[in-house]
Chain A
């Protein structure tokens, strides 16, 4: 597609529920990133893929967070046993190369609200 597509756009989950957030990057983009953006804050790095390989997951806040990109295209961020502090906008971004040479293109994000 023309841009990075994320779904769902909004998600309300009860505390303790599992959620799965999807990211469809720009076709041919090698690198894919997940960021978490709390209200009024800058995006914070969660994890990074180059093709299907997860090269950095240092930003994942706990073992309840899991991301995958099995075929090097679509990626899913899964949050198990959601907590209120997980409420945020989850942004996905892709870039053309694996060297940071090009700026990211962000998706519109998934706004997760845990009640």
Chain B
């Protein structure tokens, strides 16, 4: 079955710097790749997603890139702010609808 690996597990950046989180997946049939942000004690919230027919997608300070050949995708946050501090999860899905999540990256943005 699908396996999603995510790194780094923790990431500390200074406010205003960029943050990059990387994920790899194993199932070449996967075609949907969302990213979720989870603040302490709260629900995961979808922040951006990308499908396999697109190489890059951007939404304000957040962008996601996908390399299907290498089976990896990345989240890029620019101009980080303290409120970006949270745990970020990548996930992958094929047409089975089931999302397989990575193990998470704890991002800390220091003012």
- A residues contacting B by CB (< 8 A) are 31, 33, 35, 40-45, 48, 56, 59, 91, 95, 98-101, 103-109
Contacts and interface: CB of A to CB of B under 8 A. Distances in A.
Contact of A107 (B43, B101, B103): B43
Given A41-B104, A42-B102, A99 B46 contact: no
Interface string B3-37: 00010000000000000000000000000101010
A103 B43 contact: no
Given A48-B98, A98-B97, A100-B32, A42 B103 contact: yes
Contact of A42 (B42, B49, B104): B104
Interface stretch (B53-61, B66-74, B76-84, B88-96): B88-96
Nearest to B49: A103
Contacts of A31: 97
A101 B93 CA distance: 10
A104 B95 contact: no
Place the interface of chain B in its size category.
20 to 34
Given A33-B98, A35-B101, 13 more contacts: A40-B104, A41-B104, A42-B6, A42-B89, A43-B101, A56-B96, A100-B32, A100-B93, A100-B95, A100-B96, A100-B99, A103-B34, A107-B43
B44 A43 contact: yes
26 contacts: A31-B97, A33-B98, A40-B104, A41-B103, A42-B6, A42-B103, A43-B99, A45-B98, A48-B97, A56-B96, A91-B44, A95-B97, A98-B97, A99-B97, A100-B93, A100-B94, A100-B95, A100-B96, A100-B97, A100-B99, A104-B46, A104-B99, A105-B46, A106-B45, A108-B43, A109-B43
